[in-house]
Amino acid sequence: DAGITQSPRHKVTETGTPVTLRCHQTENHRYMYWYRQDPGHGLRLIHYSYGVKDTDKGEVSDGYSVSRSKTEDFLLTLESATSSQTSVYFCAISDSPGGNTIYFGEGSWLTVV
């Protein structure tokens, strides 16, 4: 299994509070991703990173920001959580920009009440 650790694994938070999810990898892979998983939607890309301090938006980036100050860490922040952001969040990593396998972490379950 790829060395990907997500924290926290489970969190309940209140509407309007900030939340940060952390993804830590030990594979030294350059490319990192944040996806969210919702019933009926599969997984959708929120943000991705192609290097330290290099990030870009995915298809569902509104309400989210990311930061990558070190190769091994990719942070996802909900500045002001809303109930629509209740979801399971998956971090993923890859060592190639194209044609290679993307490995997933075990997920972070976030509930916004």
Applying CB under 8 A, the residues found at the interface with other proteins are 31, 33, 40-45, 48, 50, 58, 90, 92, 94, 96-107
Closer residue to other proteins in complex, CB, 57/65: 57
Closer residue to other proteins in complex, CB, 16/51: 51
* Smallest separation, CB 104 to other proteins (Å): 4
The 3 state secondary structure assigned to the chain is: CCCEEEECCEEEECCCCCEEEEEEECCCCCEEEEEEEECCCEEEEEEEEEECCEEEECCCCCCEEEEEEECCEEEEEECCCCHHHCEEEEEEEECCCCCCCCEECCCEEEEEC
* Smallest separation, CB 80 to other proteins (Å): 26
Closer residue to other proteins in complex, CB, 17/41: 41
